[in-house]
Amino acid sequence: MTNAEVIAYLASHKNTCGRIPALKLAAINHQLEIDNRKRFTWKGLIAAASLSMLFPVINAKAKPAHKTEQAPVVPAKANIINRVADSVTYITIKGVIRAKEDGQPLPGASIKVKYRGKYIEGITNVNGLFSLRVPAKAKRVLVSFVGYQSQDITLKPGEEEKAMEIMLQMNSYMLGGFGMH
Protein backbone atom coordinates (compact mmCIF):
# COMPACT_ATOMS: atom_id res chain seq x y z
CA MET A 1 0.00 0.00 0.00
CA THR A 2 1.15 3.54 -0.67
CA ASN A 3 1.27 6.17 2.06
CA ALA A 4 -1.86 7.83 0.68
CA GLU A 5 -3.72 4.48 0.70
CA VAL A 6 -2.70 3.76 4.31
CA ILE A 7 -3.81 7.25 5.39
CA ALA A 8 -7.15 6.89 3.56
CA TYR A 9 -7.71 3.44 5.10
CA LEU A 10 -6.94 4.65 8.65
CA ALA A 11 -9.17 7.72 8.17
CA SER A 12 -12.15 5.61 7.08
CA HIS A 13 -11.78 2.75 9.57
CA LYS A 14 -11.83 3.66 13.25
CA ASN A 15 -10.28 1.33 15.86
CA THR A 16 -7.80 -0.21 13.44
CA CYS A 17 -5.10 -2.40 14.92
CA GLY A 18 -1.99 -3.47 13.09
CA ARG A 19 1.75 -3.30 12.84
CA ILE A 20 3.46 -0.77 10.64
CA PRO A 21 7.23 -0.87 10.22
CA ALA A 22 9.04 2.14 11.73
CA LEU A 23 10.32 3.41 8.38
CA LYS A 24 6.83 3.24 6.84
CA LEU A 25 5.31 4.93 9.92
CA ALA A 26 7.85 7.76 9.66
CA ALA A 27 7.01 8.26 5.98
CA ILE A 28 3.26 8.34 6.76
CA ASN A 29 3.77 10.87 9.56
CA HIS A 30 5.86 13.03 7.21
CA GLN A 31 3.11 12.87 4.58
CA LEU A 32 0.50 13.91 7.20
CA GLU A 33 2.69 16.81 8.28
CA ILE A 34 3.00 18.04 4.69
CA ASP A 35 -0.76 17.76 4.19
CA ASN A 36 -1.48 19.77 7.35
CA ARG A 37 0.80 22.72 6.54
CA LYS A 38 -0.88 26.03 5.89
CA ARG A 39 -0.84 27.00 2.26
CA PHE A 40 -0.84 30.48 0.79
CA THR A 41 -4.26 31.57 -0.38
CA TRP A 42 -5.43 34.82 -1.91
CA LYS A 43 -8.42 34.77 0.42
CA GLY A 44 -6.10 34.78 3.43
CA LEU A 45 -4.08 37.67 2.04
CA ILE A 46 -7.20 39.73 1.32
CA ALA A 47 -8.57 38.99 4.83
CA ALA A 48 -5.29 40.14 6.43
CA ALA A 49 -5.25 43.32 4.34
CA SER A 50 -8.87 44.06 5.28
CA LEU A 51 -8.14 43.63 8.99
CA SER A 52 -5.18 45.97 8.80
CA MET A 53 -7.46 48.66 7.35
CA LEU A 54 -9.58 48.55 10.51
CA PHE A 55 -6.76 49.89 12.65
CA PRO A 56 -6.54 53.68 12.80
CA VAL A 57 -3.63 55.35 11.14
CA ILE A 58 -1.32 57.05 13.63
CA ASN A 59 0.05 60.43 12.68
CA ALA A 60 3.31 61.15 14.38
CA LYS A 61 4.34 64.77 14.62
CA ALA A 62 7.74 65.87 15.69
CA LYS A 63 7.88 68.37 18.50
CA PRO A 64 10.40 71.19 18.36
CA ALA A 65 13.54 70.44 20.32
CA HIS A 66 14.05 72.30 23.57
CA LYS A 67 16.82 74.82 23.59
CA THR A 68 19.64 73.80 25.90
CA GLU A 69 22.69 75.69 26.99
CA GLN A 70 26.04 74.15 27.74
CA ALA A 71 27.62 75.22 31.01
CA PRO A 72 31.36 75.82 30.95
CA VAL A 73 33.36 72.75 31.95
CA VAL A 74 35.05 73.21 35.33
CA PRO A 75 37.35 70.51 36.71
CA ALA A 76 35.55 68.88 39.60
CA LYS A 77 37.03 67.75 42.89
CA ALA A 78 35.77 64.26 42.05
CA ASN A 79 38.44 64.00 39.34
CA ILE A 80 41.13 64.56 41.96
CA ILE A 81 39.53 61.98 44.26
CA ASN A 82 39.30 59.45 41.42
CA ARG A 83 42.97 59.91 40.61
CA VAL A 84 43.88 59.34 44.28
CA ALA A 85 41.63 56.28 44.50
CA ASP A 86 43.15 54.86 41.32
CA SER A 87 46.65 55.27 42.74
CA VAL A 88 46.07 52.59 45.41
CA THR A 89 48.71 49.88 45.25
CA TYR A 90 47.42 46.31 45.29
CA ILE A 91 49.04 43.12 46.46
CA THR A 92 47.95 39.51 46.06
CA ILE A 93 47.65 37.41 49.18
CA LYS A 94 47.49 33.68 48.64
CA GLY A 95 47.65 30.48 50.57
CA VAL A 96 45.79 27.41 51.75
CA ILE A 97 43.23 26.88 54.50
CA ARG A 98 43.21 23.51 56.28
CA ALA A 99 41.49 21.82 59.21
CA LYS A 100 43.81 21.80 62.24
CA GLU A 101 42.62 18.35 63.34
CA ASP A 102 43.54 16.36 60.22
CA GLY A 103 45.25 18.82 57.85
CA GLN A 104 42.58 18.35 55.18
CA PRO A 105 41.87 21.35 52.91
CA LEU A 106 38.65 23.30 53.54
CA PRO A 107 36.98 24.03 50.18
CA GLY A 108 34.56 26.97 50.26
CA ALA A 109 36.18 28.68 53.25
CA SER A 110 35.58 32.45 53.27
CA ILE A 111 38.37 35.05 53.17
CA LYS A 112 37.42 38.71 53.84
CA VAL A 113 39.55 41.84 53.89
CA LYS A 114 38.01 45.11 55.09
CA TYR A 115 39.43 48.26 53.54
CA ARG A 116 37.90 51.75 53.80
CA GLY A 117 34.55 50.36 54.96
CA LYS A 118 34.17 47.87 52.12
CA TYR A 119 34.84 44.13 52.03
CA ILE A 120 36.94 42.34 49.46
CA GLU A 121 35.93 38.70 49.63
CA GLY A 122 36.92 35.35 48.19
CA ILE A 123 36.55 31.63 48.84
CA THR A 124 38.89 28.68 48.66
CA ASN A 125 38.79 26.22 45.78
CA VAL A 126 38.37 22.42 46.14
CA ASN A 127 41.99 22.13 47.30
CA GLY A 128 41.59 24.81 49.98
CA LEU A 129 43.68 27.29 47.96
CA PHE A 130 42.89 30.99 47.67
CA SER A 131 44.31 34.06 45.94
CA LEU A 132 42.93 37.52 46.67
CA ARG A 133 43.97 40.93 45.28
CA VAL A 134 43.76 43.50 48.07
CA PRO A 135 45.07 47.04 48.70
CA ALA A 136 48.62 47.05 50.07
CA LYS A 137 47.46 49.09 53.07
CA ALA A 138 44.94 46.41 54.15
CA LYS A 139 45.85 45.25 57.66
CA ARG A 140 43.58 42.34 58.58
CA VAL A 141 42.16 39.19 57.01
CA LEU A 142 39.13 37.36 58.45
CA VAL A 143 38.98 33.63 57.61
CA SER A 144 35.90 31.55 58.39
CA PHE A 145 34.30 28.20 57.58
CA VAL A 146 31.05 26.65 58.82
CA GLY A 147 31.66 24.57 61.94
CA TYR A 148 35.13 26.05 62.56
CA GLN A 149 36.39 28.92 64.70
CA SER A 150 37.03 32.06 62.64
CA GLN A 151 40.50 33.59 62.60
CA ASP A 152 41.36 37.27 62.40
CA ILE A 153 44.87 37.51 60.94
CA THR A 154 47.01 40.65 60.90
CA LEU A 155 48.92 41.14 57.66
CA LYS A 156 52.58 42.04 58.04
CA PRO A 157 54.58 43.96 55.41
CA GLY A 158 56.18 41.59 52.89
CA GLU A 159 53.78 38.76 53.76
CA GLU A 160 52.23 38.91 50.30
CA GLU A 161 55.38 37.33 48.88
CA LYS A 162 54.93 34.04 50.74
CA ALA A 163 51.97 31.69 50.68
CA MET A 164 50.01 31.64 53.94
CA GLU A 165 48.98 28.38 55.59
CA ILE A 166 45.97 28.93 57.81
CA MET A 167 44.78 26.18 60.16
CA LEU A 168 41.18 26.45 61.43
CA GLN A 169 40.11 24.64 64.60
CA MET A 170 36.79 22.79 64.69
CA ASN A 171 34.17 24.51 66.82
CA SER A 172 32.44 21.80 68.91
CA TYR A 173 29.55 23.92 70.17
CA MET A 174 28.72 24.86 66.57
CA LEU A 175 27.97 21.16 65.94
CA GLY A 176 25.09 21.04 68.41
CA GLY A 177 27.13 20.83 71.61
CA PHE A 178 28.00 17.15 71.25
CA GLY A 179 31.69 17.82 71.81
CA MET A 180 32.73 16.24 68.48
CA HIS A 181 36.41 16.59 67.62
Q: Is residue 29 located within the same domain as residue 103?
A: no
Query: In terms of domains, do 90 and 152 share one?
Result: yes
Same domain? For 170 and 93 the reply is yes
Kindly state whether residue 71 falls inside one of the protein's structural domains: no
pLDDT value of residue 97: 94
Task: Evaluate if residue 62 carries a pLDDT over 80.
Answer: no
Q: Is residue 116 in some structural domain?
A: yes
Tell me, yes or no, whether 93 and 151 share the same domain.
yes
Task: Check whether residue 93 and residue 31 sit in a common domain.
Answer: no
Query: 31 in a domain, yes or no?
Result: yes
CATH label of the domain that carries residue 97: 2.60.40.1120
Confidence of residue 5 (pLDDT cuts 50, 70, 90): confident
Q: What is the pLDDT of residues 132-162, one digit of tens each?
A: 888 888 888 899 999 899 999 888 776 666 7
DSSP assignment of 147-181: TB--EEEE--TTGGGS-EEEEEPB-GGGGTSS---
Decide if 162 is inside a domain.
yes
**pTM over 0.85, yes/no:** no
81 inside domain? no
168 and 106: one domain?
A: yes
The total number of structural domains that make up the chain? 2
Q: Which pLDDT value is given to residue 162?
A: 76
Task: Determine the structural domain holding residue 4 and report its residue range.
Answer: 1-37
Q: 138 in a domain, yes or no?
A: yes
Q: Which residue has the higher pLDDT, 86 or 114?
A: 114
Residues 30 and 110 in one domain: no
Please report whether residue 22 resides in a domain: yes
pLDDT (average), residues 50-62: 66
Give the Cα separation of 145 and 155 in Å (integer): 20
Give dist(CA 161, CA 159) in Å, integer.
5
Asked whether residue 169 is domain-assigned, the answer is yes
Q: Residue 169: is its pLDDT beyond 60?
A: yes
